Structure 1
Amino acid sequence: MASLSTFAQAPMVVPSEMEFAGVKLKITSSAKKEIEETLDLLTRSQYHFQLLVDRSNLYMGMVEEVLKKEGIPDDFKYLAIQEGQFVSDAVSTANAVGFWQFKKASAQELGLRIDGVVDERKHIIASTVGATKYFKRSNFVFDNWLWSMQSYLQGLGGAQRTIPEKDYGAKKVEINAKTHWYIKKYIAHKLAFEGFVGEGRKHPELQLATYEGRGKTLRDVSKEVNVDIDELKNLNKWLVGSRIPDEKSYKVIYPVKSGSRPIAQNTERPRNEESKVSESTKSAEIKQPEKSNNNRSIYAGVRPVEGNIGAFPHVTGNIRNEYEPDQIEMNGIDAIRAKPNDNIETLANRVGKSDSKIRKYNDLGENGKLRSGAYYYLKNKKNSGKVHYHIVEPGETLWSISQDYGIKFKKLLQKNRMREAEELKVGRVLWLRFIRPANIPIEYTDVILPKNNPIPEDKMIKEVSSPEQSTGKQTQTTPEKKSDFEEEESVEDIEIGVTRKVLMATAADTIVTHVVQPKESFFAISQKYGIELDDIIDWNGLNVMDGLQVNQALRLVVPKAYFSKQKEATKSVIKREVFHEVQKGETLWGISKKYNVTIEDILKWNNKTDNNLDLGERLKILQDN
């Protein structure tokens, strides 16, 4: 297992060039700064970094095996850390759940089972297989794994609207200030964890193994592997019912401690059943959950392992005397902490400044009041933040964020193109360093909700780790109550919550009625209109597992831009047929540009299922007259 002593001595450096899944990345100086910010947030606490490393290594071998089997580049394993940080039952504000943060309808379209028996989003192997299906479907469109990863955040339609078609199939990509922040965040995760996670690295005292559980109960398995039933429940929250289904393989996760070996088991399966499962896997439709996209923050008993909250404000100086003037700084600005009975007058008197100065420095206005125990500035705040972005967490306001980062309230509004203060939606991406460009819309990302109970894997790691193995001091701990952990609700009682999205159009949208045609699927309709599958489900109060009926009426919120494209498409209905003979070195992208058509059209006209071309192959092309 990698030691963090080396990490502590040698700061991580963002290179000018690196590779991701066969794509060469050239990183500009402006992008380096953003990546370094995320790296700093990830690695600032050596203790919590090590905790995440240990938790990731418990599962990473399983993820690597699935990626290899499904033909997905190994680099995607670091995205698993970025998405769910290997917390099986992580739930976001948008009801995205599990290791890879899937919303219910999207997961079911990918072939994952979610019902009163199992929730495969919480199963490390099943959910990783689901993620690989999405990556394959997306890469079929982009022919570039980097854009496929970006679409995991934006959805396929969102990524297609963002990424220029000329960049499809690119083998070299420049990472600059305009590159989507989700990609830059991923690069930081890869740089932070690639020397410490995966490739056979394991905790010396704790590993996770799998045991075939089809048709059994967890109590049956606990006896067979000699593991406490409560430990099995905590590691297998994917099982909602009392008995594991027997129609396919379900691997039960169990701990192997202190040098013990996994239980040997005969898991051979009938060939006809393997073939049946394989075919059903291939035929599953693929769609990515709308994640109003990736700074996703998760709590591991402290705030936070990643993200911005908790990293700011930075309070330094003589903390013991933080209630007195000239003792501490907050974000590099003179500050003081308010006493329990303080008001603006008493605090101003203590620091020798006027009431109006205190109000001005802290954007309190005429009616603003002090909060007991909060920190307040004694000099002007800055015009910009020290980091580029902040993801809004529950309970936060524009004022509290301006205080956390030491940025003037009006400047925060200006950088986010707000004329006046707005109520913030959880997950909104706020700009702190620069003004959000006019051509970049307001973005949102899911925020994983804090957990009341300690993460079971972390609890086991702490139990088996000796003091000599500890690599840092815990600085922001949350006391663990044994009763909290023991009284965790039974997996049989868990209910999966659903939040419906309201059918409501903005100035850029219009509400239409779509009549379902023969053989149309949810996925096909979502792609036709460039909307998200989950939204179709929510707007119409449907269940994706019930399917669609011919002539069924669906109410949809469709971007007005869709109708503009339709008008352009109908200007030249009559087309002439020509044939192109593939020459050496030609690609589908190059051919599509030559004839001013799309790659998807060429594939459809020639009944092709992939981007591969043969020398001399004749391709049918339909052109406008």
Structure 2
Amino acid sequence: MKIIKNSLALVGIVCVSGLFIFAMQKSPEPESDDALSDYLLGKDDPIVNNYNVYALEMPKDLNFAGEAVPINDPDIYERMDRELLVNTYWQSNGLLMFKRAKKYFPIIEPILKKNGIPDDFKYLAVIESGLIQTAKSPAGASGMWQIMAATGRENGLEVNSNVDERYNIEKATEVACDYLKNAKDNLGSWTKAAAAYNAGNAGVSRRLEEQKVASYYDLLLGEETGRYVFRIVALKEILSNPDKYGFNFNKSHLYKEVPTYKVKVDTAVTDFAQFAKQFGINYKILKLHNPWLRESFLNNSSKKLYEIEIPEKGYYKTLP
């Protein structure tokens, strides 16, 4: 079973303009507006003009879910170095990951723990969606965990034009946990289970057999799956050590989770805009907290019990 066709890979695609890679280190400012314009347009050579870009020291103890990354292998070293560099010097994207992680990791972490999934898998969600709750890939994988529609339905999620529970973080995380546990049982390691999230259990198993090796790190794979675990490890390393990689922020810069309570609904809702007004919010705010509600109404002909999240008072401007 393949949970993903094409992950968004929002983290790990370097910006080619050259703008982002010079912002982090404390380099000399251009001396005039003209110099700044030339710099932004790429007319000046940043190395010649002392816009410093620094190589990174390879950490000695990189691991994923307790399984060591064999960086003594020169191929593994270069692939790991690539992901660390790409993600360190894409500063705007990196700062967004720090900001979103503060908001969403507290939701994901206890679900992983409850299911016996190593905490490192929260970084898989980072590379899949950039922690964007409403992310959707060209192949149709959706939500923070980028689950395909068929996979969602096979694992108990409601997926249709009216309700799509792939956009429900809690439920989607549960599905991801089930998939990962199954992959670990089938393939024998958490590293290979992570790779299987991208390439499928059968895909990873077949390649291991064809190439007569036992480790993900010994496989020759396509570009996406071949970089997949290295991206996860890179984001784990960077998000765990902001100061080490030059990311400067304080707690006030990070996004906060808005406290909510759940309202149970077991009937149809004809107008969510009117429904939202009962709780002092508008339709936009209702959808921000419940992106799995895909339309402005709820059919619910089966009388299914849904739980709709409503933000606590005082966090948004209340309606008159």
TM-based fold match above 0.5: yes
TM-score of the aligned structures, taking structure 1 as reference length: 0.35
Q: 1:211 pairs with 261, 269, 273, which one?
A: 261
1:188 matched to 2:234? The reply is yes
2:21 corresponds to which residue?
none
Q: Which amino acid aligns with 1:188?
A: A
The question of whether the paired residues in 2 share the 8 Å contact of 1:208 and 1:256 is answered with: no
How many Å apart are 1:79 and its aligned residue?
0.3
User: Contact 1:58–1:203 at 8 Å: present in 2 too?
Assistant: no
- Whether the 8 Å contact between 1:89 and 1:237 is mirrored in structure 2 is yes
- Which residue is equivalent to 1:250? 307
Question: Secondary structure of 2:132's match?
Answer: coil
The amino acid across from 1:240 in the alignment is R
Residues 561-604 of structure 1, C-alpha deviation per residue, up to 9 Å, x if partnerless? xxxxxxxxxxxxxxxxxxxxxxxxxxxxxxxxxxxxxxxxxxxx
Displacement of 1:121? 1.0
Alpha-carbon displacement from aligned partner over 1:343-375 (angstroms, at most 9, x marks no partner): xxxxxxxxxxxxxxxxxxxxxxxxxxxxxxxxx
Quickly say closer, same or farther: Cα 1:43–1:18, change in 2 above 3 A: closer
Aligned-pair identity in percent equals 27
Match of 2:62 in 1: 18
* Whole-angstrom distance in 2 between the partners of 1:244 and 1:55: 32
| SS at 1:139 equivalent | helix
- Alpha-carbon separation, structure 2, partners of 1:188 and 1:99: 19
Aligned match of 1:87 in 105, 108, 132? Answer: 132
SS in 1 for 2:117: coil
| 1:367-419 CA-partner distances (Å, limit 9, x unpaired) | xxxxxxxxxxxxxxxxxxxxxxxxxxxxxxxxxxxxxxxxxxxxxxxxxxxxx
Distance 1:24 1:255, change over 3 A: farther
Does the CA contact (< 8 Å) of 1:219 and 1:229 recur in 2? yes
Q: Is the 8 A contact 1:213 1:244 kept in 2?
A: no
Q: Take 1:86 and 1:247, find their aligned partners in 2: how far apart are those partners? A: 29
Counterpart-to-counterpart distance in 2, 1:29 and 1:253:
52
Distance 1:90 1:222 in 2: 24
Q: Give 1:73's aligned residue.
A: 118
Q: Residues 74 and 225 of structure 1: is their aligned pair in 2 closer, same or farther, counting only changes over 3 Å?
A: farther
Kindly state the Cα deviation for residue 51 of structure 1 after the two structures are TM-superposed.
1.9
User: TM-score normalised to the size of structure 2?
Assistant: 0.65
RCO higher in structure (CA 8 A, sep ≥6) = 2
Contact preservation (8 Å) 1:213, 1:221: no
**Is contact 1:20-1:146 (8 Å) kept?**
yes
Indicate the residue corresponding to 2:179 in structure 1. Answer: 134
Q: Which amino acid aligns with 1:250?
A: E
Aligned partners of 1:109, 1:151: CA distance in 2, in Å?
Answer: 17
Residues of 2 paired with 1:195 and 1:253: CA distance? Answer: 34
The match for 2:11 is none
Per the TM alignment, residue 105 of structure 1 is displaced from its structure 2 partner at its CA by 0.9
Q: Is the aligned partner of 1:62 residue 2:107?
A: yes
Q: Which runs of 5+ in 1 are unaligned?
A: 1-6, 261-459, 461-625
Superposed counterparts of 1:283-294, under 5 Å: none
Separation in 2, partners of 1:33, 1:185: 13
Give 1 or 2 for the bigger CA radius of gyration.
1
Cα distance in 2, alignment partners of residues 126 and 141 from structure 1:
23
Alignment check: 8 A CA contact 1:8 1:46 kept = no
AA at the equivalent of 1:149: A
More strand by share: 1
Further displaced range: 98-107 or 221-230 = 221-230
Relative distance call for 1:119 and 1:18 in structure 2 (3 A) is same
The code of the aligned residue for 1:247 comes to K
Matches within 5 A, 1:562-581: none
Instruction: Name the residue aligned to 2:166.
Output: 121
Paired residue for 1:233, among 287, 294, 318?
A: 287
Mapping of residues 339-350 of structure 1, within 5 Å: none
The structure richer in helix per residue is 2
The change in CA–CA distance for 1:210 and 1:255 in structure 2 (over 3 A counts) is: closer
Structure 1 residues 182 and 239 mapped into 2: Cα distance closer, same or farther (>3 Å)? same
Matches within 5 A, 1:414-493: none
